């Protein structure tokens, strides 16, 4: 018979820690405007697209007195994009706050992501359902999806379905794209005279939805700890057997925050940060040279093993490969039907090579055949290469092997190079949330409810001071439009939330840069071990290292 694991059962009784102010009655928490956040960049275009949302202030919640109307309301909730640990707790926090304000209020979960709203597929979330998911990983309570609400018909269907359910509010839990959608829906509902408050919640394991108001997106803490545990274990295996180099690719579609955090957690011999490689305009062979030189230097010391960690998005940051990918994207986009009629593999590769300019064609041909094939695979709905499917770890391992053979021929390397490759991504997205993520997510859900009850449409929940104890966290919200830029795509102005990349001038990167040469030669790895949910707070509750470095004065 199916039984929950002891940990699963144990996590049900965990009570998330929340900001002190949330312990008060809902009625006595009020928002106060703190600053007017007006994005100056693209001001005119943003005003045109968001005439009713542009120029609102950020708010923080403080203790107030009485007065909040507490009629029963109906709220819809959507989980959007890739799963991230803690999503269930956002829903639990939202549910509990709604019921605390009025036990008759309803929480409706749209199934399978934004498409659930468009198609009107939903479930009523009861306490029996929510209780089964408290403090657990996954987005399976209602499912998730990557549909973007884009066309006029999709906006109209979303409104119709929201009206059918008499929704007073909608919460969208997602990353940059999903929160852009939340802002557009908020504006659309307002313009259509529908009083439906739309609120966003910052989610993504990639950690790239952040700024001075959103200190981190949820799920990052847990995911990086899962990856770090695995990397730490591999470090121990490598230094025990002393015969393998391990090439580990880590998720993070674009930014390298995950790799940077895992580097602090484990101290690998090589950690590549895409943002630096782009800034220095490094070629693929220069990247390979860094790895090969480290391997040769360690071999000379008798340490013929080690760990290389690389971010998933790396290859798109190597300028020559970025150019190559852009050329392939163009070829595929301009001859879609013809291209799709070709069989995968050899036929598609030859088609691409024959159409690439000569410089790009020779780079393409120099890549291992498997990588050429992967670069030819289907694009995502935005026309981008699906980087999680490109085996960058194998590409680097193979190219390093070739380079070491050249070095051996001239006496610059004298050892046997054996390697293993790994990709850690999906392994971390649905883990039981750490205490930090469980607390943070529950608080974000609670915060989202307060934004709704105060009618703050177009806001994203923002909780600050996260390196302090949860009781001292500072809850509030910021207008989503204040995070936006305009991008010009196919002659159209598209509002987008710009991804936050690793800042090369920031404290975490500088701390990493100061240590990496030492880590390259050392075998004194840091072993973080597995996530601990019970025990002393120094082991269970300390937030991730990059956050601590960022907030250190
Ligand atoms: P979100 O931005 O939606 O949170 O997803 C991030 C991510 O986990 C990336 O790290 C990864 O490239 C991508 O999702 C994989 O997506 P999919 O689940 O569609 O394979």
User: What is the arithmetic mean of pLDDT over 322-331?
Assistant: 89
Query: Which atom number of ligand 1 is nearest to the Cα of residue 178?
Result: 3
Query: Which atom number of ligand 1 is nearest to the Cα of residue 83?
Result: 4
- The alpha carbon of 82 and the centre of ligand 1 are apart by a number of angstroms equal to 5
pTM of the model: 0.95
Ordered alpha helix ranges (H), 145-219: 152-164, 176-191
Torsion-angle region of 105 (φ positive above 0: left; ψ -120 to 50: alpha; else: beta): beta
User: What is the arithmetic mean of pLDDT over 519-532?
Assistant: 97
- The alpha carbon of 1 and the centre of ligand 1 are apart by a number of angstroms equal to 34
d(CA 251, CA 239): 25
**DSSP state letter for 145:** B
Distances (CA, A) of 427 to 59, 211, 223, 303: 36, 27, 8, 30
- The alpha carbon of 472 and the centre of ligand 1 are apart by a number of angstroms equal to 31
Query: Which atom number of ligand 1 is nearest to the Cα of residue 312?
Result: 12
Dump pLDDT digits (tens) for 473-482: 999 999 999 9
Fold of 30-219+433-497: Rossmann fold (3.40.50)
pLDDT greater at residue 66 or residue 497: 497
Q: Whose CA is nearest to atom 18 of ligand 1?
A: 82
210 contacts 497 by C-beta, under 8 angstroms: no
Query: Which residues are bridge partners to 108 per DSSP?
Result: 76, 124
Query: Which atom number of ligand 1 is nearest to the Cα of residue 84?
Result: 4
- The alpha carbon of 134 and the centre of ligand 1 are apart by a number of angstroms equal to 23
Q: Residue 69: pLDDT above 70?
A: no
User: What is the arithmetic mean of pLDDT over 385-409?
Assistant: 92
Name the residue ranges covered by the structural domains of the chain: 30-219+433-497, 234-427+516-550
d(CA 551, CA 507): 9
pLDDT greater at residue 387 or residue 29: 29
Q: Report the percentage of the chain scoring pLDDT > 90.
A: 82
User: What is the arithmetic mean of pLDDT over 419-447?
Assistant: 98
Q: Which of 113, 138, 253 is the best mutation target for the ligand 1 pocket, counting ligand atoms within 8 Å of the beta carbon and taking the most? A: 253
Q: Whose CA is nearest to atom 5 of ligand 1?
A: 82
Kindly list the catalytic residues. Answer: 206
Dump pLDDT digits (tens) for 341-390: 888 888 889 999 999 999 899 999 989 888 998 888 877 766 777 777 88
Q: Which of 78, 80, 81, 148 is the best mutation target for the ligand 1 pocket, counting ligand atoms within 8 Å of the beta carbon and taking the most? A: 81
- Using the structure block, give the residue that is written with the tokens 């991804």: 499
Q: Which of 79, 80, 81, 82 is the best mutation target for the ligand 1 pocket, counting ligand atoms within 8 Å of the beta carbon and taking the most? A: 82
Q: Fold match between 30-219+433-497 and 234-427+516-550?
A: yes
362: number of Cβ within 10 Å = 11
Assign 110 to helix, strand or coil: strand
- Using the structure block, give the residue that is written with the tokens 């390298």: 256
Helices 284-300 & 507-521, crossing angle to 10 degrees? 50
- The alpha carbon of 425 and the centre of ligand 1 are apart by a number of angstroms equal to 9
428 contacts 252 by C-beta, under 8 angstroms: no
Q: Which of 201, 206, 249, 313 is the best mutation target for the ligand 1 pocket, counting ligand atoms within 8 Å of the beta carbon and taking the most? A: 206
**Residue 33 has what pLDDT?**
85
Q: Whose CA is nearest to atom 17 of ligand 1?
A: 82
Element at 60 (helix H, strand E):
strand 57-63
Retrieve residue 225's tokens.
């700890």
**Residue 65 has what pLDDT?**
74
Query: Which atom number of ligand 1 is nearest to the Cα of residue 251?
Result: 10
CATH of domain 234-427+516-550: 3.40.50.460
Ligand 1 pocket residues where CB is under 6 Å: 81-82, 84, 175, 204-206, 251-253, 312, 387-388, 429
Q: Whose CA is nearest to atom 8 of ligand 1?
A: 82
- The alpha carbon of 253 and the centre of ligand 1 are apart by a number of angstroms equal to 7
d(CA 117, CA 103): 24
Average pLDDT of the chain?
A: 94
Per-residue 3-state assignment (H helix, E strand, C coil) for 378-416: CECCCCCECHHHCCHHHHHHHHHHHHHHHHHHCCCCCCC
- The alpha carbon of 60 and the centre of ligand 1 are apart by a number of angstroms equal to 31
């Amino acid at each position: 018979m199916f039984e929950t694991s002891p940990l699963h059962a144990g996590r049900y009784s965990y009570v998330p820690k929340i900001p002190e102010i949330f312990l008060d009655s809902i009625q006595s928490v009020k928002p106060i405007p703190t600053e007017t956040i007006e994005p100056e960049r693209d001001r005119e275009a943003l005003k045109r697209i968001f005439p009713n949302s542009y120029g609102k202030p950020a708010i923080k919640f403080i203790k107030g007195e009485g007065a909040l109307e507490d009629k029963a309301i109906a709220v819809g909730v959507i989980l959007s994009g890739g799963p991230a640990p803690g999503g269930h707790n956002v829903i639990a926090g939202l549910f509990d706050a709604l019921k605390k304000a009025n036990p008759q209020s309803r929480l409706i979960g749209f199934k399978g992501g934004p498409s659930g709203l468009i198609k009107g597929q939903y479930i009523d979330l009861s306490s029996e359902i929510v209780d089964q998911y408290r403090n657990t990983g996954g987005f399976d309570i209602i499912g998730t999806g990557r549909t973007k609400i884009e066309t006029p018909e999709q906006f109209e269907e979303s409104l119709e379905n929201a009206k059918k359910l008499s929704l007073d509010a909608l919460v969208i839990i997602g990353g940059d794209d999903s929160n852009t959608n939340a802002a557009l829906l908020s504006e659309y509902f307002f313009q259509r005279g529908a009083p439906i408050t739309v609120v966003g919640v910052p989610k993504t394991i990639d950690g790239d939805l952040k700024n001075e108001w959103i200190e981190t997106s949820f799920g990052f803490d847990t995911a990086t700890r899962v990856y770090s545990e695995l990397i730490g274990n591999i470090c121990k295996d490598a230094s025990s057997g002393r015969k393998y180099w391990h090439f580990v690719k880590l998720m993070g579609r674009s930014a390298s925050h995950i790799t940077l955090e895992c580097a602090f957690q484990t101290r690998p011999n090589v950690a590549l940060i895409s943002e630096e490689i782009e800034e220095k305009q490094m070629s693929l062979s220069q990247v390979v040279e860094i790895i090969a030189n480290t391997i040769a230097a360690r071999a000379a010391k008798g340490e013929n093993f080690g760990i290389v960690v690389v971010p998933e998005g790396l290859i798109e940051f190597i300028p020559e490969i970025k150019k190559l990918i852009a050329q392939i994207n163009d070829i595929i986009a301009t001859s879609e039907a013809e291209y799709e009629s070709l069989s995968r593999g050899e036929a598609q590769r030859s088609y691409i090579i024959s159409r690439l300019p000569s410089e790009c064609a020779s780079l393409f041909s120099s890549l291992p055949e498997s990588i050429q094939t992967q670069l030819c695979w289907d694009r995502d709905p935005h026309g981008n290469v699906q980087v999680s499917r490109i085996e960058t770890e194998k590409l680097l391992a193979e190219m390093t092997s070739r380079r070491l053979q050249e070095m051996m021929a001239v006496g610059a390397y004298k050892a046997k190079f054996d390697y293993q490759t790994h990709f850690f991504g999906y392994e971390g997205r649905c883990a039981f949330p750490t205490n930090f993520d469980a607390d943070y997510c529950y608080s974000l859900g609670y915060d989202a409810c307060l934004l709704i009850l105060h009618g703050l449409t177009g806001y994203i929940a923002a909780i600050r001071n996260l390196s302090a104890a949860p009781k001292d966290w500072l809850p509030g919200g910021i207008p989503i439009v204040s995070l936006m830029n305009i991008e010009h795509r196919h002659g159209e102005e598209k509002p987008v939330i710009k991804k936050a990349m690793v800042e090369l001038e920031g404290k975490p990167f500088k701390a990493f840069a100061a240590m990496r040469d030492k880590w390259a030669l050392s075998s004194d790895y840091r072993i973080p071990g597995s996530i601990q949910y019970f025990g002393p707070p120094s082991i269970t509750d300390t937030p991730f290292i990059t956050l601590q470095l960022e907030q250190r004065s």
